[in-house]
Amino acid sequence: MVNSPISRRHGPCPLRRKYAAGITPVHALNFLPPILDRLNDAAKRKVLALQDYFILAWNALRFIFARPFYGGDLVQQMDAIGVQSLGIVLLTGFFTGMVLALQSAVQLQTFGASMYMGRLVSASMIRELGPVLAGLMVAGRVGSGIAAQLGSMKVTEQIDALNTLGTDPIKKLVTPRVLAALIMLPVLTIINDCVGIVGGNLIAQFYLDVPSSLYWRTVWEQVASDGFVLRFIPNDFVQGLSKPFVFGGLISITACYFGLNTTGGTEGVGISTTRTVVTSSILILVLDYFLTQILLSVLVAP
Amino acid sequence: MNDRDRNAPSGPPSEADDDQQSTAVSDAAELRDRRADDVVRRKRQDSVRSAIKTELSEDEADAEPRPRAEDPGALEGAVIELERVYLAFDRPILEDVSFAAFPGETLVIVGESGTGKSTTLKLILRLLQPDSGRVYVNGKDIAGLSFTEALAVRQGMGMVFQSAALFDSMTVFENVAYPLREHTDLDEDAIEARVREKLAFVDLEPDEVMEKLPAELSGGMKKRVGIARGMANNAQIMLYDEPTSGLDPLTTATITRLIMKLQRELNVTSVVVSHDIRSAFRMGTHIALLAERCIRFFGTPEEMTGSDDRYIRDFLGGF
């Protein structure tokens, strides 16, 4: 084979050749003690993962405005994220509103303030419980689904197949999911809020004997009392709807990130799914605090 | 490109030879045992080689003449070329890998597991970038292309994955039609006609399989649908990653014939990664053996079977 004319097409192959000069060694800081070296590697991996996460988020959002538009995929994802999550959100919202009213009733009765039940339930649901609960439910149901779906596609080489067929997987798979979550999570939150307030109304009416008309009047008083943005949008609504918008992006991007970075077969898919739910849930709760801080400082009551 | 160093390898001694020399012992009993083992191994390798040669001669009898490579010095006509490619992840994967495939050739890359065969395909597809070196497709260096530019280059290639990688949420028709819907302006009638044509080419009955989901297909059918999808855009370059792995001998033969048919009837240039040495020898116009992170052998199947290289003899003997 050595003298074959065809074999001249390939270069020499000396065994155990030193790796090409000029190529950056993988472990550039080998002089560090092993424990520091490992810490250094771990820190670099975390920073790199964070960078990849934000690059994915940026690309997913950027591609919303880039052709081609995958309208069919968007509608499909809106159905999967929104319509198919309706049942779980209705149940969660309804029972949360009832429990909230039930627990508050004892305290309010002590002070003779049962008539303020509507204010308490609506403020809690619209500002905090609605967005957070809807977010957690979607993270559990939809986030895990997205991670499992993309993870399976990754380990079965379907993502590579998309690439080889000349399709950008982020544009085809990530952007429709992110956009669908950005649209549908606020919608789910509104439904969650409404159902929760209705649940509170039931408890107020049948447990505390608060007339329904009074309950709904206090609900409106609460919504109107915190001021308006642009003169007609209640501050509570701005607060209650900006959060799910952020949570929607967070859940979908986190799920897509873990899904697309799945390795190791079916076990890897399970790990990605778990990581998605845990990370999304924690981030929702942490981010909720900071968002509340920001919104309270921005949306000043009159 | 002609001024590149393309001198033939000088044939450095393999690691196994070094080990044998360094561990030469004076113990007569051990030496006798070793010689006896060598004789047995040599006999086994000879029998495998003769079987492969017999099979080759049978194939030659009923096959059309294979297109031969152009003047080996004329790399300008190469469809795919890797030039002194280095790639490392957490360890070196490829070192100084160079080879070329010319129009209508089927280059089969063989080698032990983990030697970077599939990675080489990913380099050709520009799913990976080399740390250094160049990857040419149709004379264009694709290593420096942006992601978007690379997508355009990939549209001219078809890839068949080890697991077929069909989109499991789509039917067979939608899978094969996917590249047409994505990258052409064909209307639905034209797309259906093209899908039927490609399915028929891979010996599948369009009316029977078009509405099926990938989960309803056998392994061989999935591979054939994968080939149909890869060639839907009339790609002139086809890449195959382990196309016959996990298939029974009859289906393996079918897939091998299909790859040969693509080469003969459509003059498609193919790069096939395979562990199946018999299929490799049947379909390949050239064989590249990856070992120790670089190309240990490049030549025709006949040259490979006639090689005296110890490693190649061991490699062939393992089948």
pLDDT value at residue B68? 40
Residue A224 confidence class, pLDDT cut points 50, 70, 90: confident
**CB distance A163–B127 less than 8 Å?**
yes
CA angle B192/B193/B197 to nearest 5° reads 115
Q: Decide if pLDDT at A20 tops 50.
A: no
CA angle B160/B164/B167 to nearest 5° reads 115
**CB distance A12–B10 less than 8 Å?**
yes
Among chain B residues, the shortest Cα distance to A14 is held by B12
What is the b/e burial string over A174-183, where b = at least 16 CB atoms within 10 angstroms of the residue's CB?
bbbbbbbbbb
Give the E-state strand segments of chain B in sequence order. 80-88, 92-101, 106-111, 132-137, 140-141, 157-160, 237-241, 269-273, 286-291, 294-299
Average pLDDT of chain B is 78
pLDDT value at residue B277? 87
pLDDT value at residue B24? 44
| DSSP-derived secondary structure for A82-101 | TGGGHHHHHHHHHHHHHHHH
Closest CB from A8, A158, A160 relative to B8: A8
CA angle A278/A284/A285 to nearest 5° reads 95
Burial class (CB in 10 A: 0-12, 13-18, 19+), B125: buried
Q: Mean pLDDT over residues B161-187, rounded? A: 91
Give the E-state strand segments of chain A in sequence order. 228-229, 233-234
- Interface with A, mutate which of B1, B122, B134, B161 (most A CBs under 10 A): B161
Among chain A residues, the shortest Cα distance to B179 is held by A165
The minimum CA-CA distance between A87 and chain B, rounded to whole Å, is 24
Q: Decide if pLDDT at A226 tops 90.
A: no
pLDDT value at residue B40? 52
Q: Decide if pLDDT at B3 tops 90.
A: no
Q: Decide if pLDDT at B42 tops 60.
A: no
- How far apart (Å, rounded) are the C-alpha atoms in residues B281 and B284? 5
Nearest to B248 by CA among B219, B225, B227: B219
Check: CB of residue B229 under 8 Å from CB of residue B178: yes
Q: Is A302 on the interface with B (CB under 8 A)?
A: no
The residues, any chain, with a CB within 8 Å of residue B251's CB and separated by 6 or more, are B218, B219, B220, B223, B244
In chain A, the percentage of residues whose pLDDT exceeds 70 is 88
Q: Encoding tokens for residue A189?
A: 């939150």
- Residue range(s) defining the domain that contains residue B211: 27-66+103-129+140-317
- How far apart (Å, rounded) are the C-alpha atoms in residues A177 and A229? 30
* B71, part of any domain: no
Instruction: Name the residue type at position A203.
Output: I
Q: Mean pLDDT over residues A291-302, rounded? A: 79
Q: Mean pLDDT over residues A282-292, rounded? A: 95
pLDDT value at residue B4? 39
Q: Mean pLDDT over residues A257-278, rounded? A: 93
- How far apart (Å, rounded) are the C-alpha atoms in residues A134 and A111? 32
- How far apart (Å, rounded) are the C-alpha atoms in residues B6 and B84? 10
**CB distance B165–A1 less than 8 Å?**
no
pLDDT value at residue A28? 52
Check: CB of residue B220 under 8 Å from CB of residue B163: no
pLDDT value at residue B197? 92
Residue B171 to residues A224, B222, B228, Cα–Cα distance (Å): 53, 11, 13
pTM higher than 0.90 for the full model? Answer: no
- How far apart (Å, rounded) are the C-alpha atoms in residues B270 and B255? 13
- Interface with B, mutate which of A3, A8, A15 (most B CBs under 10 A): A15
Q: Encoding tokens for residue B95?
A: 């070192």
* B152, part of any domain: yes
β-strands B80-88, B132-137 pairing: antiparallel
Among chain A residues, the shortest Cα distance to B125 is held by A164
| Count of all residues that appear for chain A in the document | 302
Residue A9 confidence class, pLDDT cut points 50, 70, 90: very low
Nearest to A252 by CA among A176, A151, A165, A158: A176
Nearest to A100 by CA among A212, A200, A205: A200
Render pLDDT for A38-89 as a digit per residue (tens, 0 to 9): 888 889 999 999 999 999 999 999 999 988 888 999 999 999 999 999 999 9
- How far apart (Å, rounded) are the C-alpha atoms in residues A219 and A140? 30
**Cα separation of the two ends of chain A:** 88
pLDDT value at residue B319? 52
Closest CB from B89, B152, B299 relative to A7: B299
Check: CB of residue B244 under 8 Å from CB of residue B222: no
Burial class (CB in 10 A: 0-12, 13-18, 19+), A90: middle
Render pLDDT for A123-156 as a digit per residue (tens, 0 to 9): 999 999 999 999 999 999 999 999 999 999 999 9
Nearest to A9 by CA among B98, B84, B89: B98
Q: Decide if pLDDT at B312 tops 80.
A: yes
β-strands B157-160, B269-273 pairing: unpaired
Q: Encoding tokens for residue B233?
A: 């855009």
- How far apart (Å, rounded) are the C-alpha atoms in residues A229 and A295? 12
Could you tell me which residue, A18 or A184, shows the higher pLDDT?
Answer: A184
CATH of the domain at B281: 3.40.50.300
Q: Decide if pLDDT at A279 tops 50.
A: yes
Among chain A residues, the shortest Cα distance to B70 is held by A6
The tally of domains found in chain B comes to: 1
**CB distance B86–A12 less than 8 Å?**
no
Q: Is A213 on the interface with B (CB under 8 A)?
A: no
Render pLDDT for B110-158 as a digit per residue (tens, 0 to 9): 988 888 888 999 999 888 889 988 888 888 888 778 877 888 888 888 8
Could you tell me which residue, B71 or B94, shows the higher pLDDT?
Answer: B94
Render pLDDT for B214-273 as a digit per residue (tens, 0 to 9): 999 988 899 899 999 998 988 889 999 988 887 888 888 888 888 888 888 888 899 999
Residue B1 confidence class, pLDDT cut points 50, 70, 90: very low
Would you tell me which residues 152-191 of chain A have a C-beta closer than 8 angstroms to some C-beta of chain B?
A: 156-158, 160-161, 163-168
Cβ-Cβ contacts under 8 Å, B72 against chain A: 5-6, 8-9
Instruction: Name the residue type at position A56.
Output: L
